[in-house]
């Protein structure tokens, strides 16, 4: 874990106070969404308080905090389901800002990143497609970008384009063939495409259980969309590599935000357990309740620990950090789900009604086990990496630790 500089800790404290004093009182009723108008009005306040867009470079109006110091502040922002949106560190905009800061041209930064960082506009990310297109398997990408004179023609259908209903532009992933004469390799290419560009069409909305992402998760259609070369984000054919630049930190910031909500659920149930009695004892004094509260603490602390370690690796060793972010995503999404589920159980009937916000919190965090790659897909990849790592160690001369041969005999003595 990295040492937190005093200025980062001071920013965390100010963020914590802002969420509790300004954002929580402005939360919509459980089940209602934050309107665009209300969000834009609220976004003026963190700018004045100096807690706006913590992850964005100072030159674009943010706080310029390094990735390794994001966790504690993102967790504070996530203590309210609308906190990340108000502070402009919510998906998909946060991930799009991070990636554009790294690979966009100066002209693209001025046109797209600057207004996104300031909160003037919203964006979406066009990756997921209807079956048999890209979902958990990005290699199944169906949207096609064909080379034309001076640009590209794009055709495809996306879904779960989070934020798409309110987005001003989309970062679109499309498959491209090799163009040997221009040194373009076959692969995927990212494009910056305005949502009002000819051929871009907003399709049916997708009503998921979560509502924290303003702009929903709609279908998007790209019908003979022709863009100039200036619309390419990064280099043609390198889209899958750039996606990892975005997805590693984006997975982890989801963990941070939802961990903040889990901590809110734990605080809520701790207050309730201290104040309410059943069978002649306070809830917090009952052994079964203590077990559940303790398990919540364990899930919260282990999640915080892996988030911290991953954030440091993303800064110092991005490849290793991206791999660990896959483990963090699985652990945190399941642990956070358990925390909120136990909180609901401890609150009894009120926990599943709108008398408390816990059922809303569950609706928000449940999709995380699917979003950013299903947990099952991540577990498959984690297992493959573990097997490859061990095979490499054995090939380098380490003795295998399996001490029984095919006949059931102990073979250690033969070594």
**pLDDT category, 256, cuts 50, 70, 90?**
very high
Residues 6+ away with beta carbon under 8 Å from 362: 337, 340, 341, 344
Digit-coded pLDDT (tens) for 37-56: 889 999 999 999 999 999 99
Task: Specify the domain boundaries for CATH 2.40.110.10 within the chain.
Answer: 123-239
Number of DSSP helices (H) and strands (E) in the chain, helices first: 13, 10
pLDDT at 217 exceeding the cut of 80: yes
Task: Specify the domain boundaries for CATH 1.10.540.10 within the chain.
Answer: 6-118
Digit-coded pLDDT (tens) for 283-312: 999 999 999 999 999 999 999 999 999 999
For residue 131, report the phi and psi dihedrals to the nearest 5 degrees.
Answer: -55, 135
**pLDDT category, 414, cuts 50, 70, 90?**
low
Task: Report the pLDDT value the prediction gives residue 413, as an integer from 0 to 100.
Answer: 58
Digit-coded pLDDT (tens) for 133-182: 998 888 899 999 999 999 999 999 999 999 999 999 999 999 999 999 99
Task: Specify the domain boundaries for CATH 1.20.140.10 within the chain.
Answer: 241-393
Superfamily of domain 241-393: Butyryl-CoA Dehydrogenase, subunit A, domain 3 (1.20.140.10)
Q: Do residues 205 and 154 lie in contact, with contact meaning Cβ atoms separated by under 8 Å?
A: no
d(CA 25, CA 45): 13
Q: What is the pTM of this model?
A: 0.93
Asked whether the CA dihedral 403, 405, 409, 415 is positive or negative, the reply is: negative
The per-residue pLDDT of the chain, averaged, comes to 94
Share of the chain above pLDDT 70, in %: 98
Task: Report the pLDDT value the prediction gives residue 339, as an integer from 0 to 100.
Answer: 98
Architecture (CATH level 2) of domain 6-118: Orthogonal Bundle (1.10)
**pLDDT category, 412, cuts 50, 70, 90?**
low
User: Across residues 15-36, what is the average pLDDT?
Assistant: 91
Which conformational region is residue 64 in: left (phi greater than 0), alpha (psi within -120 to 50 degrees), or beta? left
Share of the chain above pLDDT 90, in %: 86
Cβ neighbour number for residue 103 with a 10 Å cutoff: 17
pLDDT at 2 exceeding the cut of 90: no
d(CA 387, CA 86): 43
Task: Report the pLDDT value the prediction gives residue 290, as an integer from 0 to 100.
Answer: 98
Architecture (CATH level 2) of domain 123-239: Beta Barrel (2.40)
DSSP-based three-state secondary structure for 396: coil
User: Across residues 200-223, what is the average pLDDT?
Assistant: 93
pLDDT at 402 exceeding the cut of 90: no
Digit-coded pLDDT (tens) for 310-359: 999 999 999 999 999 999 999 999 999 999 999 999 999 999 999 999 99
């Amino acid at each position: 874990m990295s040492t937190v500089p005093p200025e980062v800790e001071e920013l965390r404290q100010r963020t914590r106070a802002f969420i509790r004093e300004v954002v929580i009182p402005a939360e919509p009723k459980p089940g209602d969404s934050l309107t665009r108008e209300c969000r834009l009005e609220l976004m003026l306040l963190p700018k004045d308080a100096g807690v706006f867009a913590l992850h964005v470079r100072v030159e674009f109006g943010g706080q310029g905090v390094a990735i390794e110091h994001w966790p504690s502040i993102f967790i504070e922002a996530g203590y309210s389901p609308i906190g990340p949106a108000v502070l402009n560190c919510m998906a998909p905009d946060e991930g799009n800002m991070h990636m554009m800061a790294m690979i966009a041209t100066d002209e693209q930064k001025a046109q797209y990143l600057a207004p996104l960082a300031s909160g003037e506009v919203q964006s979406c990310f066009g990756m997921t497609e209807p079956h048999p297109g890209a979902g958990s398997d990005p290699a199944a990408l169906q949207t096609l970008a064909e080379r034309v004179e001076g640009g590209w023609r794009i055709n495809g259908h996306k879904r779960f384009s989070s934020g798409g209903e309110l987005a001003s532009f989309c970062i679109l992933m499309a498959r491209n063939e090799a163009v040997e004469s221009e040194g373009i390799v076959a692969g995927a290419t990212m494009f910056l495409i305005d949502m009002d560009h000819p051929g871009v069409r907003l399709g049916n909305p997708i009503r998921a259980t979560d509502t924290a992402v303003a702009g929903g998760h709609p279908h998007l259609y790209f019908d003979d969309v022709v863009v100039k070369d200036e619309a390419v984000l990064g280099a043609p054919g390198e889209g899958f590599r750039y996606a990892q630049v975005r997805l590693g930190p984006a997975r982890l910031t989801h963990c941070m935000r939802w961990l903040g909500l889990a901590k809110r659920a734990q605080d809520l149930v701790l207050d309730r357990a201290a104040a309410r009695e059943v069978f002649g004892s306070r809830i917090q004094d009952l052994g079964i309740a203590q077990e559940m509260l303790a398990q919540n603490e364990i899930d919260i602390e282990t999640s915080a620990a892996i988030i911290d370690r991953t954030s440091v690796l993303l800064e110092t060793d991005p490849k290793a950090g991206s791999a660990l972010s896959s483990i963090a995503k699985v652990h945190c999404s399941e642990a956070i789900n358990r925390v909120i589920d136990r909180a609901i159980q401890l609150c009894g009937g009120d926990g599943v009604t709108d008398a408390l916000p816990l059922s809303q919190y569950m609706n928000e965090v449940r999709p995380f086990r699917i979003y950013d790659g299903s947990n099952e897909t991540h577990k498959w990849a984690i297992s493959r990496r573990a097997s490859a790592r061990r095979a490499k160690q054995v090939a380098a001369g380490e003795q295998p630790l399996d001490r029984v041969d095919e006949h059931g005999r102990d073979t250690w003595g033969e070594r």
